[in-house]
Amino acid sequence: MARVNFDHVYKIFGEDVYAVNDLSLDIQDGEFLVLVGPSGCGKSTALRCLAGLEDISRGHIYIGERDVTYLDPKDRDIAMVFQSYALYPHMSVRDNMGFSLNLRGASKADIKASVDRAAQILGLEDLLDRKPRELSGGQRQRVALGRAIVREPQAFLMDEPLSNLDAKLRVQTRAEITSLQRRLGVTTIYVTHDQIEAMTMGDRIAVMSAGVLQQLDTPQNLYDKPKNQFVATFIGSPSMNIFPATVVQNNGTAAIQGGENFSLTLPDAVKGLILDHKDEQINVGIRPEDIEVVQYAERADDDNTLRLPVRLVEPLGSEIMLHLEGPGEEPIVARVDPRVQLKGGDVAHVAFNTDKLHAFNPATEEALV
């Protein structure tokens, strides 16, 4: 087990394609860190650089106290779990799991002891004599994890290991991986494009876009305090609502004006910050759960209750996703109680929790609030 450090790492393809752009990360001993972002953001390239499967263009990578920047993959003391499992089809589960130890010249007794221990941890004891073709997708993924465990590496690297599993098995296996990592205490760097995986598994999450680290923080802080509009919309499902509005002030009251019939009064907690942008257009963000359907008569005097046309209703059993007409091109989505009786074409009376508003500079997309 060891700390892992990316020190101003670049990976440049050709002359000007920056797959990884000045990445600096300090991953603590025993930490579960998730690299997340859309396809092409550089997260898998960063992991491959750490594994030694890609040469970096500039910078340094450290595992523990060692500078491994120019070491071969076999000398880095890491174990990698791939999306495709990468099992040898002609070998049994036992032989697949013990293959790396066999290459090291370990004794048969040591290999058997290590494989049996990993199999017990992963619940594979009854499958050790089977071939990979005789296993389910979830079982194959556990064999791939077992092969990593027996090596007792300083770090686990996992590259989208659940993407080939169906939805139910993916939920089950991510819980198993998280529990296993906590039990073993091995530093783990996990790559995924699935922000729900990232939120539920990581001690911290590194959000990447276009090769650049956007924000590194705990899952809750990323959700509550995104540094920019990209992070705000990428983290959370459904995504944060973003719409344009102008900051106005009348008789000491500050508000954001999104259109003739769309005005929200700002609470004192954020008024001072947003008033710095008086008469300017900003991008306003609010999470779907911070919009509530109310009876208009009950909230007639509430400045932050609006009448908005309903575009679409998505019933999900435990909740409803209500798509509402807003001031921007995209609808405003509200996560509401399943007992709400509305349909497309109705007018909904909705209250916005303005204590939960976010504001972003439309030019830089950096957070204002």
Is residue 307 in a domain?
Answer: yes
pLDDT of the residue at 40:
92
Structural domain of residue 261, as residue ranges? 241-360
- pTM score of the predicted model: 0.89
Is residue 136 in a domain?
Answer: yes
pLDDT of the residue at 264:
87
The whole-angstrom separation of Cα 365 and Cα 94 is: 52
> Looking at the DSSP assignment, which residues form a beta bridge with residue 281?
246
In whole angstroms, what separates CA 33 from the centre of its chain? 10
pLDDT of the residue at 258:
84
Indicate whether 182 and 262 sit together in one domain: no
- Per the listing, tokens 């020190």 go with 7
pLDDT of the residue at 342:
92
Sheet order of strands, 17-27 included: 17-27, 4-13, 58-63, 66-67
Q: Residue 70 belongs to a domain with what CATH number?
A: 3.40.50.300
Indicate whether 11 and 135 sit together in one domain: yes
Indicate whether 128 and 15 sit together in one domain: yes
pLDDT of the residue at 296:
47
Indicate the number of domains in the chain: 2
Is residue 199 in a domain?
Answer: yes
Q: What is the dihedral of CA 343, 344, 350, 352, to 10 degrees?
A: 130
Indicate whether 208 and 286 sit together in one domain: no
Which tokens in the block code for residue 77?
A: 């003391």
Indicate whether 221 and 245 sit together in one domain: no
Report how far apart, in Å, the C-alpha atoms of 197 and of each of 146, 180, 190, 205, 282 are.
Answer: 21, 15, 10, 10, 31
Is residue 369 in a domain?
Answer: no
- Measured in degrees and rounded to the nearest 5, phi and psi for residue 316 equal -120, 20
Q: Are strands 291-293 and 347-352 parallel, antiparallel or unpaired?
A: antiparallel
| Contact by Cβ (8 Å): 113, 150 | no
Is residue 33 in a domain?
Answer: yes
What does the pLDDT profile of the chain (369 residues) look like in tens digits? 689 999 999 999 998 899 999 999 999 999 999 999 999 999 999 999 999 999 999 999 999 999 999 999 989 999 988 877 788 899 999 999 998 888 888 898 999 999 998 898 888 889 999 999 999 888 888 888 888 888 888 999 999 988 878 888 888 888 888 988 998 899 999 999 999 999 999 999 999 999 999 999 999 999 999 999 999 999 999 999 999 999 887 766 678 888 778 888 887 766 666 667 777 888 999 999 999 998 644 554 566 889 999 999 999 999 999 999 999 889 999 999 998 889 999 999 999 998 899 999 999 999 987
Is residue 365 in a domain?
Answer: no
For residue 274, the one-letter residue type is I
Name the DSSP letter for residue 236.
Answer: S
